[in-house]
Structure 1
């Protein structure tokens, strides 16, 4: 049995943290202020131990080497936060149900292609909430050209989201009617129905890298993500997202976020945290 390596505070230097800041910024656009130094130590030290390396310096040398590609993804995952919940910020789902769907449903019936993007899907509660809202408003949605693209930089949480399976204590926030309509109990866990599972497509994606898809979206959810970016990265992302929203479409952002350059992006604030693309 291999003995685990115990890291002490001296193994984590200012130089190590500065390199981690650079990696986070370059790889994912994440800004790590000095106040996050202890938090970063707590998260990354687990990876150092799992790799059975003796220091942060050794770990970072490996991670930034050609052999460290897989570990680089794990490092970025360790630096990101995955706090989510079903129907979180419920005003967005109310807007989706009462404003978007009454226009989108008739358009789909006429042959329109419909797409919604959950741009930081985490463990899946957001895209599954979207799916329940859409299917609840338009039960025959599966017969039309409609999909939900659900992406996240963390491959582990994307796999978890794609499983469509949640423990009973994870269902908080789902109305009883949706639980009855869309969830079935299997071996002590709840799984979304096959009908609902046809709606989302799950992919690993770095929002600050190239996007390997084309086309526009009726709605983009990009919530509680840009708070981790610096101003330059944040504004560049808003612009890129706005370019992918069809005229008249909507962008939903987190409760503590705003699009500072909305006008330059062709977006109009129509409610707190809701923007519409100019027609």
Structure 2
């Protein structure tokens, strides 16, 4: 009779216990403010199994011990990257880009033409499709944008997404929803993919940034996009982030949120509704944009 096979099951079949899932959730929340909703065991299992295999670890207990240790700094970043949801596409929530084109950008571009500066931030930019959509809208209004002091910052917590955005290359399926005229103007075919043209890539700076840590930008932004990011945070983290965004806006600045995100009225806030999930500060001072980010 053959001896009973006592080998461990494949990693993909190992399910984290409730205790292990709780530990992972705590680490993720402490590192990035992200909340793992109940019932997400299969998501955690499917995404972290790859990390266990890459590290040759036998189980989730070993993985948790690593990311909690002093030696686990890099792996905590990998864990956050693995558990971050990156859903984006060009011209997502088109009404925001209509507002950008019709109301937000024209006075800012007039300022730029008069020698001023314009600063825009795409926070939680994923692989850059939002930032490049902003850039296309801006370029349509101001074809000679390279002559002026205009910059777009695209930030994300996931270094893999930042690298993809900086490369500016997207599959045909991603570019397909973009109007044909804009595709021809702002993309070039490249080995079966499509690459954002160099002037547009130069307009956008990509930086890895954890929204729950310190922000290195000392200057103000005229426009901030942070859409479908804050829904993954708990209410206290959301409230803190709204205050930080407001503090980072220049007078008369615009803040665009995701379709299911709202800022509740507060006595200490000057933000007012300016459209669907769109908010604005009053015009109370000079709009220089402040110093550039590092």
* Same fold, TM-score > 0.5, yes or no: yes
**Deviation readout 1:121-153 (Å, 9 max, x if unpaired):** 101110010110001111111111110000000
Where do residues 12-31 of structure 1 align in structure 2 (5 Å cutoff)? Answer: 12-31=16-35
Correspondence for 2:100 among 96, 104, 107: 96
CA distance in 2, matches of 1:127, 1:19: 34
Alpha-carbon distance change, 214 to 81 in structure 1, aligned in 2, over 3 angstroms: same
Aligned to 2:290: none
Which segments of 5 or more consecutive residues in structure 1 lack a partner in the other structure? none
CA distance in 1, matches of 2:63, 2:131: 35
Please say if 1:41 is aligned against 2:50: no
Moved more, 76-85 or 34-43: 34-43
Aligned to 2:81: 77
**Deviation readout 1:97-123 (Å, 9 max, x if unpaired):** 111121011100122111000001101
Please say if 1:232 is aligned against 2:248: no
Shift of 1:264: 3.0
Please say if 1:128 is aligned against 2:132: yes
Aligned to 1:251: 255
Q: For the Cα contact (< 8 Å) 2:16–2:41, is it kept in 1?
A: no
Aligned to 2:288: none
Which segments of 5 or more consecutive residues in structure 2 lack a partner in the other structure? 1-7, 284-294
Give the secondary structure class of the aligned counterpart of 1:219.
strand
Moved more, 85-94 or 39-48: 39-48
Where do residues 79-228 of structure 1 align in structure 2 (5 Å cutoff)? Answer: 79-228=83-232
CA distance in 2, matches of 1:181, 1:215: 32
Q: For the Cα contact (< 8 Å) 2:117–2:149, is it kept in 1?
A: yes
Give the secondary structure class of the aligned counterpart of 1:34.
coil
Q: Report the TM-score when normalising by structure 1.
A: 0.95
CA distance in 1, matches of 2:276, 2:191: 41
Q: Work out the number of aligned pairs and report it.
A: 276
Give the secondary structure class of the aligned counterpart of 1:198.
helix
Q: Report the TM-score when normalising by structure 2.
A: 0.90
Moved more, 104-113 or 114-123: 104-113
Q: For the Cα contact (< 8 Å) 2:171–2:193, is it kept in 1?
A: yes
CA distance in 2, matches of 1:194, 1:139: 14
Alpha-carbon distance change, 186 to 11 in structure 1, aligned in 2, over 3 angstroms: closer
CA distance in 1, matches of 2:163, 2:28: 22
Aligned to 2:286: none
Shift of 1:11: 5.4
Shift of 1:8: 6.6
Alpha-carbon distance change, 8 to 141 in structure 1, aligned in 2, over 3 angstroms: closer
Alpha-carbon distance change, 261 to 237 in structure 1, aligned in 2, over 3 angstroms: farther
CA distance in 1, matches of 2:43, 2:28: 14
CA distance in 2, matches of 1:275, 1:262: 13
Give the greater-gyration-radius structure (CA). Answer: 2
Task: Tell me how large the CA RMSD over aligned residues is.
Answer: 1.6
Q: For the Cα contact (< 8 Å) 1:218–1:246, is it kept in 2?
A: yes
CA distance in 2, matches of 1:167, 1:7: 31
